[in-house]
Amino acid sequence: RPRVGVLALQGDVREHARVLTELGADVSLVRRPEELAGVEGLVLPGGESSVIDKLARAFGMQGPLRAAIAAGMPMYGTCAGLILLADRITDGITGQETFGGLNVTVRRNAFGSQVDSFETDLTVAALGDPPVHAVFIRAPLVETVGDGVQTLAALQDGRVVAVQQGALMGTSFHPEVTGENRFHGRFLDIVRAA
Ligand code: GLN
């Protein structure tokens, strides 16, 4: 059984833990460096990226997380988690930092106030049929996809909402709230292969 963690500083931690448990993983909540050292992969939940960034620095987790990413630990971030894995962000709050690892530029709250939240079906070739029912909640967009980054999903107009680079994966939307478990399954496959 893959030993995986959910970063549990803020956000929808429970929802991720439930999906991963359903898929047969041995799941723990990660708040401290010692807990990070005990897992083979990590999910970064949705929530508020600026808050998770601040708490990670306050808990002494930023350095260990960056080191784990550099060492190749598989990670999957949804929404705020995607923002935290991005090398570059636009519309961050002043002083907001990320862990980085994905060679992308992400725009926070990219869909503006009128459509803060929406749902749509996405064709994701890497996952096959059926399409992914995706829920976007004050979601970010991947504005620039750098070298080495694979686009996993885009909206009909081409805007990118899911990416992978090596062992790192990120989605703008929240599979963990719709019973969609294929992204988490793909993440666990990456963990088993690592
Ligand atoms: N807007 C949030 C942020 O900037 C992300 C929202 C979410 O995770 N659903 O972190």
Question: 174 an active-site residue?
Answer: yes
Report how far ligand 1's centroid is from the alpha carbon of 85 (Å).
13
Please name which of 7, 159, 184 lies closest in space to residue 85, comparing C-alpha atoms.
Answer: 7
pLDDT digits (tens, 9 = 90+) for 115-152: 688 999 999 999 999 999 999 999 999 999 999 999 99
Active-site residue, from 16, 97, 143, 174: 174
Name 7's bridge partners.
30
141 lines ligand 1 (CB under 6 A): no
Report how far ligand 1's centroid is from the alpha carbon of 46 (Å).
6
Q: Count of residues for the chain?
A: 194
Cβ contacts of 33 within 8 Å, gap of 6 or more: 60, 61, 64
Q: For all residues of the chain together, what is the average pLDDT?
A: 96
Q: Which residue has the tokens 């049929």?
A: 129
47 is in an annotated binding site: yes
HSE value, Cβ hemisphere, 13 Å, CA-based, for 66? 12
Range of the structural domain that residue 84 is part of: 3-193
Q: What is the pLDDT of residue 125?
A: 96
Question: Is the distance from CB of 128 to CB of 153 less than 8 angstroms?
Answer: no
Instruction: Please give the model's pTM, rounded to 2 decimal places.
Output: 0.97
For the domain that residue 32 is a member of, what is the CATH number? 3.40.50.880
DSSP 148: T
Query: How many domains, in total, are found in the chain?
Result: 1
Quote the CA–CA distance of 165 and 170 in Å, as a whole number.
Answer: 9
pLDDT digits (tens, 9 = 90+) for 152-165: 999 999 999 999 99
Q: What is the pLDDT of residue 114?
A: 57
Is the pLDDT assigned to residue 112 strictly greater than 80? no
Question: 79 an active-site residue?
Answer: yes
Cβ contacts of 39 within 8 Å, gap of 6 or more: 3, 4, 5, 28, 30, 73
Quote the CA–CA distance of 78 and 91 in Å, as a whole number.
Answer: 18
